[in-house]
Structure formats: structure tokens, C-alpha cells
Homo-oligomer: A and B are copies of this chain.
Amino acid sequence: MPDSLTVPQETFAQKLADSGLRNTPQREVVYSVLLQKRDHPTADEVFARVKAELPTISLATVYNCLEALVQCKLVRAVNFEREPTRYCPNLRPHAHFHDDQTGSTHDIDLPPDLLERVQAILPPGYDAASVEISFRGSAVSSQN
């Protein structure tokens, strides 16, 4: 049972069920790990963190859990060039910034109208299930 769910506990199982998926201890722990440290971990990093709580979990299960969470839209999968897939539990509309220097990834909130504007460039007949806006560069910011 994840501690500080963005989504109420009830809804966690529900969201899975809506996609025909079951709730399992492994899926809960994987999700809670994503919520605890929102640094866009890779599957391997998630694996390492989850093992602290479930020492016998396998990497294949971590991949399965992540895929399940992506499928039921509790988590987004993020890809950058030639890098392993990273996972993000932020449900608000946002873009991603990948810092080439540090390898870290930051969420950039999208103004409410911008996503619509971007969607609007699609010609008729194009039906987008998902949109991803991603930047690569370096963040000189004081933020980390």
C-alpha cells in the first residue's frame, strides 16, 4: 500500500481493473517507489529500489509492473535517444527536459492551452493516443 498516493488508494486498484489488470503487491510497491523519488528512474533503478521491500522480486516482474502501470495510465514511459526508458508518475500535462550533462530528467509543466494547440497541428484523420514534448540540453538553473 503506497503511502502518499497522488491517486486515492481505492482508485489505484480501480485504474488497474479498468484496463483488465489485477492489483498485486508487486505493482503497488513499484508504484510507490515511483512516487517516493520522482527522478525518472529506469527499470533497473526501479528494480534496485523495489528489492529493498521485496527482495525476491525479479526484473521481469518489474518490467511487467511498469508496463501495467503505463497501460492503465498511472505512469508515463519517457524515452530519450539511445537511453533506457524512464518512468514518471506525474499525471499533470507536462513536457520533459533531459539534461545532457547530468543525465537527469525534469518535468516542465505545460500551460493549459498549449497541449491543445499542439494537438491542433494534426491534419484530419490523425488520431493521437499520446503526445510527448521533450527537450535535450543543459540546465544551468539553480534548481536540481
User: Which A residues fall within an 8 A CB radius of B?
Assistant: 77, 79-82, 85, 95, 97, 100, 106, 108-111, 114, 117-118, 121-143
Inter-chain CA distance A72–B23, complex, in Å, is 49
Inter-chain CA distance A44–B71, complex, in Å, is 29
| Interface pair B133/A132, CB less than 8 Å apart | yes
Given contacts A80-B79, A81-B79, contact A126 B100 (CB under 8 A): no
Give the nearest-CB partner of A110 in chain B.
B121
How distant is A82 from chain B, measured CB to nearest CB, in Å?
Answer: 7
Please list 11 pairs of residues, one from A and one from B, whose beta carbons are closer than 8 Å in the complex, sorted by A's number.
Answer: A95-B121, A97-B128, A117-B117, A123-B143, A124-B141, A128-B136, A129-B136, A129-B137, A130-B136, A131-B134, A131-B135
- Taking the full assembly, how many copies of this chain does it contain? 2
Give the nearest-CB partner of A131 in chain B.
B135
| Interface pair A108/B124, CB less than 8 Å apart | no
| Interface pair B141/A137, CB less than 8 Å apart | no
B residues in contact with A133, CB < 8 Å:
118, 131-133
| Interface pair A121/B108, CB less than 8 Å apart | yes
Give the nearest-CB partner of A83 in chain B.
B79
Of A118, A130, A135, most B-chain CB atoms within 10 Å:
A135
Q: Which of the residues B97, B131, B132 comes within 8 Å of A126, measured between beta carbons?
A: B97
| Interface pair A126/B139, CB less than 8 Å apart | yes
Give the nearest-CB partner of A99 in chain B.
B126
